[in-house]
Structures are given as C-alpha cells and as structure tokens.
C-alpha cells in the first residue's frame, strides 16, 4: 500500500510540475478599434534567443498556449504604431494582457 501511495504522489507531482498555461489578450488602438495582424513576441527571461511569436487575428485577439511557468517579457509591434514592451513579469497561471 505504501508503494502505491508513493507512486501516486510521484505522478501527481510530475503532472503539476509540467502543467502548461496560456497568455492571451486583445490589441486595440486609442479609439478602442482592434488592431489586426499585430506582431506579439513572447520572450522567456534567460532564453531570449528562442522567443515565441504570434500575430493577432482580424479582431485584434492573440494567444500563446502551452506556456511553462517562469519569467517572461512581451513586445507588441505593428506598422504605424510605437512598439510596446511589457516589463518582466512572473507567469504561473493563465493570464490576460490587453494592449
């Protein structure tokens, strides 16, 4: 019985350690109009050489899925607008960031 309990706790711990979450949001301009096709780059602090990127859809929505816990930075850019950079933040659960 003890080995079954240890095995169960081991697999539960592994599942929790590798849980993945998402970052999503909406990008709008000063008149609250959505900005389609905006570049959104996600940098993991300490591993900036391998960023993840996405482009917002027709309604300005973007999403990153299966993101591991850690510290991240985000950069948002599109033609005709100033690039916006989010300072480093700690990510541990689903997060919504609107720009």
> pLDDT digit string (tens) for 34-67?
999 999 999 999 888 889 999 999 999 999 999 9
User: Which residue range forms the structural domain that includes residue 67?
Assistant: 21-96
User: Which has the higher per-residue pLDDT, 74 or 18?
Assistant: 74
CATH number of the domain that residue 48 is part of:
2.60.40.10
CA atoms within 13 A on the CB side of 96: 4
Q: Is residue 14 part of a domain?
A: no
Q: Is residue 6 part of a domain?
A: no
What pLDDT does 58 receive? Answer: 96
Distance between CA atoms of 71 and 79, rounded to whole angstroms? 28
Q: Is residue 54 part of a domain?
A: yes
User: Which has the higher per-residue pLDDT, 19 or 71?
Assistant: 71
pLDDT digits (tens, 9 = 90+) for 72-91: 999 999 999 999 998 899 98
């Amino acid at each position: 019985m003890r080995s079954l309990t240890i095995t169960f706790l081991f697999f539960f711990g592994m599942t929790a350690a590798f849980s993945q979450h998402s970052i999503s949001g909406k990008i709008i301009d000063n008149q609250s109009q959505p900005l389609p096709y905006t570049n959104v780059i996600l940098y993991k602090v300490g591993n900036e050489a391998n960023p993840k990127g996405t482009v917002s859809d027709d309604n300005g929505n973007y999403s990153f899925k299966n993101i591991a816990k850690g510290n991240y930075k985000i950069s948002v850019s599109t033609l005709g607008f100033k690039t916006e950079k989010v300072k480093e933040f700690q990510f541990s659960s689903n997060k919504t960031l609107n720009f």
